[in-house]
Amino acid sequence: MDAAKKAEIQAHARAIAALLYEEADAEQVQTLAGIEATVRAQLLEHVSPEIGVFLSKRAAARLEDAPGQSTASSEP
């Protein structure tokens, strides 16, 4: 990954972190264990599904662009 893409990811990650921090329970982010649990829960609930939807749409678009090149076997 080039430096520009890394910088863009970092900027977006910081923006996401700021938004999720506003929604976090203040008492939960007082300890390292609490921060870890909060981050994991928020990523699973809010971020990972969006990444999954994005990747699914990209994969579906690729399949539509290449008809007849299905990854599924047509043999019994």
Would you list the domain boundaries of the chain? Answer: 3-64
Q: In angstroms, rounded to a whole number, what is the distance separating the alpha carbons of residues 21 and 62? A: 36
Q: For residue 38, how many other CB atoms are within 10 A of its CB?
A: 17
* Per-residue pLDDT, 64: 86
The pTM for the full model equals 0.69
- The pLDDT tens digits for 1-36 are 999 999 999 999 999 999 999 999 999 999 999 999
* Per-residue pLDDT, 63: 87
Mean pLDDT of 52-60: 94
Instruction: Say if CB 6 and CB 12 are below 8 A apart.
Output: no
Instruction: Say if CB 26 and CB 13 are below 8 A apart.
Output: no
Instruction: Say if CB 23 and CB 42 are below 8 A apart.
Output: yes
